[in-house]
Structure formats: structure tokens, C-alpha cells
Amino acid sequence: MKVIIAEKPSVAQGIASVVGARQRKDGYLTGDGYAVTWAFGHLVGLAMPESYGFSGFRREHLPILPQEFRLVPRQVREGKVYKDDPGVVRQLEVLRELFDRCESIIVATDAGREGELIFRYVYNYLGCTKPFVRLWISSLTDKAIREGLRNLREGSLYDNLYLSAKARSEADWLVGINSSQALSLAAGQGVFSLGRVQTPTLAMICSRYRENKQFVPRKYFQIKVSAAKDGIAFSALSRNRFDDLETATAGLREVEDGGMLAVSSVERREAVQEPPLLYDLTALQKEANGKLDFSADKTLTLAQSLYEKKVLSYPRTGSRYISEDVFEEIPSRITLLQQYPRFAAIASALRDTPLNRRPVDDAKVTDHHALLVTENLPEGLSQDERAIYEMVAARLLEAFSPHCVKEMTEVALSAGGEIFTLKGAVVKSAGWRAVRGEPEEEVEETTLPELQTDETLPLLASETVEKQTKPKPLHTESSLLSAMEHCGREIGDGQLRTAIREAGIGTPATRAAVIETLFARNYIRRDKKNLVPTEKGLAVYDTVKDKKIADVEMTAAWEDTLAKIETGEADAPSFRRDIEVYTAQIVAELLAATLDVAPSGEQCTCPKCKKSRILFFDKVAKCADVDCGFTLFRNKGGKVLTDKQIVGLVTTGRTPLVKGFRNREGRSFDAALVLNPDFTVGYSFPDRKPQGEKSGRKR
């Protein structure tokens, strides 16, 4: 028997139908010599610090650098502790039994870095030694699965891919765990999350926000003139920018005194616009954010769903090119789109046109080619799924269409010693722009009359126009994804910039999750399309902006090294040693930092030990000294206590009257909270003696 392991049950079902495994068992499908089973994403991960004896947040523990990382089943929180997820444990036992019984394993997790890690962690955790081969495919159509099964690859070919994934996982653990604990200890209250990619990304958002808000606009003035010829009216702006209205007005008078505009020069040229490249995941996310207002995470989720529905190729790709063998399939994909009403006409026209070969380059195809529609027409898609499918289909048609050809005209006019400029554009052959019928966004298409050098035209109107300089706009998800993808280009050190080439931070597969983490940590929020830091996010940024943890250059260099580990150009143990040195450095920097996030600016000393500070968490407030043990739960009698109420309780021993508590019978009552001598919390009712936790009124 051969075992095939997929990343998700839905993918396993598609593979099972191809190999004839139709008999359903608990945790797998079987038949025709195969058992097809699955993971639920990451079944196994790296153990938390408690597994190595480092419980609580203590300065003396940092940096935490395990000699060997331990693998554990995925954890779920149960009360105050984390336990093995029962569903994961059950599936791991299914996998253990199947691995023990089988002759060999076919790895069919997603064909990428994380997919490889999912399998290898399970394989290593179970102590399996059975041989395995790799199913490496770029779509889940029946045809692709059959071809992949006929061309299975040796598992050892992906050892470097696994080493890169493992190095990424361990580096994120080392940096994330240590930096988060160090900053939380420095703050003295609350839990703060930092990360290898997360923190530089936060820095990008905050620095742009600060730059935007601190920008002081500068007024300037231009002169606008209007003229017409052959019934076509047009306007032009002065090339000169005036710093004040008085000077601009003086220039305007000189222009008006002449009453005529002289055509100084007319330049016409033909502009050929190449069609755009195919989408990789990041390009798709950027455009979906700009045009559909989809978050990066939503776009990835929709693309993954379309992949599992067998109508889209593997979405987590970083390439915008296809190979020669895939190019051979493009005519049939174009023919397929003749059956899709929105694209029927353009696909029919493209069938008889030589295909543009710009996106075809074997050398630029990484693990997976660019996003393509498959040979299957979609059915039953949601509105959002259809929107993403049509974006990919439209881009396929655009990428292989002819050039767009325009006639560009640049005109210079003169009057009163001032030069005025204007541009016009006329489409001679729409080419790829005909696919969506959208105008060019970068240049306004303007039809100008036939103007000749040295001719003069009457001045029809003129005025001064007040304008002002503008700051860089706040980041949107689209612009942030670009910044994450191309930050290597903006590195000041020329040698380093050359070394890391086009390296960004994160990968196409992980950038959406990084952005979502910043939302989850309450570091950023959305303001329409803009990404705006919260007070908490700015407080963290102000603390770490000059530290190594926020260094975009360092993070981009690490990402480049991970890519080199994948290709065998770099050594994983050396990377691990470098990360450990880096971790020790950022821990030292953060422990010496100051982060003031106390509610209302107050610092609360623990009422029990009278030495350490009170830490504020989402559900509890407790002493920073884990040996002290003072803990105060926020939820009291159905009310969630505010920071201000907790501060009053631990500093003065009581709160003001709080309205709306509820007893066990659901009845509402009002009371103040008091801190009892044994450091439990009780109620104090108006005109009554305080009632403690042992009075039977504990809630």
C-alpha cells in the first residue's frame, strides 16, 4: 500500500478520486492500493518555552536559545494552559498507523516551502523512516494530478527546501519569542508581540504615517492658459512655479498683455506599451486591493479556494513568468475563455493573433509558474471568487496580446516670457488594453488639435492656480505589499543592495498573514483604504524604530539567505548561528528600552509584594513577578473592568460605584469593588459593609 498525504481534506478527496481510493475510513480514503490521507495545515509545530523549562517572562531566561527544538502537536488554549488539540492528536495517530503499514509515502502537501515543512515536521515527529517521493504540481485538475503521479520526484530533491523552511520556522521562533518577552518586560505591563518580519512591516507603516502627518505643505502658484483650434479647446500650465501670488499675478499680467500664445515646439512620437506580465500572488493582491478593496488575506483565501476548485493554478507563487512547456498550453486556455461570456469576443480575436512571448522565460520561473486559469471552466463561484477568477483570466489575455500603440504629443507654448506645456495621447492600436477596456491610469488620454511650430493662437482665458506640495500618501495594503516586496531596492548600501538583489521581506505566501497579525495585535487599523497605526502601534514603533528588530535591511538580507538555503548556496546551521547572535543583540537592546504604556500614564505597584509592577493583559492584570502570584481577573460579575478601574482598585483598595453587575440568577446590581486583606476582590454595597470573596457573594 502507498500512502498519499495532502495538506487538506478537500485536496485529498480530489487526489483520491483520481487514484481510485473511494472507500472512506476514519481520517483517510482507501482503494486500489492507495490510502489518501491529510493534514489540517500545520499539525506539528515548535514547542513553546515552557517545554524547555522557561515558564513565565523572566529577564534571567533571555535570550532563550534551545539547543534542539522540540516538535509538538498543534496546541489549543484550555483555560490558562495550552494543550494538544484532540482532533490533531487523533489525525496524527491515523498517520502513524498508515505510515507504519505502508510501503512508501507520496507527499502531496502544497508544493512550496510551507507545504514541505508541514509534511517533514509530521514525518519527523512520528519518527517515520519510510521512503517518500514528491508530487509536485501547479494545479489540482485531474490532468495535472495524473501527470504529476506519472512523474513523481525523489523526496531528497527537496531537502534544501525543507532546510530553508525549517530555518525560517526556527528563526521566527527565536526572534519572535525573545523580542516579544523582552519588550513586554521592558514595558512592565501588557504583552507585546514583535517578529522578524512583523516589526519591520509595522515600522514601514508608522514611518510613512509620521512622515505624512508631519509634512508641512508649501503653497505655490502656476499660470493656466486656454486656447482652441479647429473647434478643439485645450489648456496648459506654466512650467514655472511661483512661490507667491504677487509674483504669479505679475507674470499673468504680462501673459495677458500680449493676448496671444505662440507654439514654441511640437514633438510627436509613437509609444509602444508592452503588455503587463502575468500575476504572481503579490501582484494579484495589490491589484485586488486597489480595484476591489480586498485585503491581501482575503485575496489569498479566494485564490486558494479557486485552486482547490481546480480552476486556478497554485496561488502562492512568486513568479510572473511561465516556461516554454506551459506556453504550449496557452492557446487552449484562450480557446476555453471563448466559452466565458465576458471574454468570448476578445479571446476569439486573440486566437488568430501571434501570441506575445514576453511572459515566457524558463530562467525566471521559480518553484511555480505565474497564476493561470486551468482547463476547467468555473461553476458555482461566489461573487468574490468570480471577481478574482476574472482578474486572472483578463491578465492572461492581456499578457499574450499585442502591444498597445499610442501617438504621444508634447507641446510647448510661450507668452509673456513664460513657457506653458501640455501633453496629448491618441490610441492608434489598443492591443492588450482592449481586454478590459480601461483607460491608462498614468497618463490622461487627451486629443489635441493639429498644432504647428511657430503658429500663434488667441489667448481665450488665463488665471493663476493655487496649488500645494503633497506628502507621500499613507500606506494602503497595495502600497505596503509593494514596499515589502521591493524594499531591497531602496537600501542605501550599494554593496548590500546588490547582494540581496530583489529580496523583500516575507514571501508572497506569508505577507498577507503578517499584515493580518498587525491587525490582530491592535498595532494598526483601517481608515477607509489606508493603514493607520494605533496608539499602541506607535508606542511600539517609537521604542523599536532604531533597534535591530525593526531593521528592514537586516530582514531583507535574512530573506535572501533563506532563498539561498533553498538553492543550496547557503548553509542552514550558519544561518541559525547568525540568528542566535542577532537574537541576543535585540534582547539586550529591548531590555534596556523604555516603553510607557501604563493606563492614564500611571505606574501600578503590586499591592501584594509591593515591589514589582502590575502587568495589564486582555483578561487579567497580574504582578510582573511570577513568584508573587497576584492576579486580578478583569471579568467580575459579568462586567469587564477597565484599566482605570483596576488602577484604582490596586492603588486605593477600592473602585467607585460600578453599575450593572449580575448575580448567578442574572439579576442586576450596583456595587463598588474592594481589595480584601487576602488580596481577593469583593463587593461593597451602598450603606452596607464590604462583602468578601468568602461571603457567598463571590462572582
* CA–CA separation, 588 and 61 (whole Å): 12
* CA–CA separation, 636 and 656 (whole Å): 14
* CA–CA separation, 418 and 457 (whole Å): 15
- Cβ contacts of residue 441 below 8 Å, gap of 6+? none
Q: Does residue 84 sit in helix, strand or coil?
A: strand
Question: Longest C-alpha distance within the chain, in Å?
Answer: 100
* CA–CA separation, 509 and 535 (whole Å): 29
Q: Does residue 498 sit in helix, strand or coil?
A: helix
Per-residue CA distances from 362 to 140, 346, 367, 402 (Å): 22, 27, 11, 21
* CA–CA separation, 383 and 295 (whole Å): 16
Active site residue 523: no
Cell 486551468 -> residue? 374
Which one from 121, 209, 279, 314 is the annotated catalytic residue? 314
The one-letter amino acid code at 34 reads Y
Residue 342 is given by DSSP the state G
Rg for the chain (alpha carbons), in Å?
Answer: 32
- Please give the distance of CA 204 from its chain centroid, rounded to a whole number: 13
Report residue 624 as a C-alpha cell.
Answer: 510582573
CB 534 within 8 Å of CB 523: yes
Residue 550 is given by DSSP the state G
* CA–CA separation, 199 and 172 (whole Å): 12
Q: Torsion angle of alpha carbons 493, 495, 498, 504, nearest 10°? A: -40
CB 481 within 8 Å of CB 507: no
Which of these, 103, 133, 92, lies nearest to 116 by C-alpha position? 133
Q: Which long-range contacts (CB under 8 A, 24 or more apart) does 341-345 make?
A: 342/390, 343/390, 343/393, 343/394, 343/397, 343/435
Which residues does residue 413 pair with via DSSP β-bridges, in sequence order? 263, 420
Catalytic positions:
314
